[in-house]
Amino acid sequence: MVRTFFVVMMAFFLVGLVGCGSSPEERKAEADAEIAEEKVNIMKKYSECLEKFEGQKDVSEKCAPYKEASETFIEK
């Protein structure tokens, strides 16, 4: 039992180290891609919110979190 646990833990450790070999440029490119994907998701959620509450007088209040989040991403 202990040996199996040790082997499993070493496997997780070694798998974790695989990502450490990437260059700073690769990590930046991956981070930029993740940020771009998140921007798209937030804008999609904002658009869905606007459609859902279209015609209601408090639509801007209900969709404010998505708008604020999208503005945060646009500024950066």
Per-residue pLDDT of the chain (76 residues; tens, 9 = 90+): 666 766 666 666 665 655 566 788 888 898 889 988 988 999 999 999 999 999 998 998 999 998 888 887 665 5
Domain boundaries, the chain: 26-76
Q: What is the pTM of this model?
A: 0.61
What is the per-residue pLDDT for 27?
Answer: 86
Euclidean distance between CA atoms 65 and 53, whole angstroms: 14
Give the residue among 2, 1, 76 at the shortest CA–CA distance from 39. 76
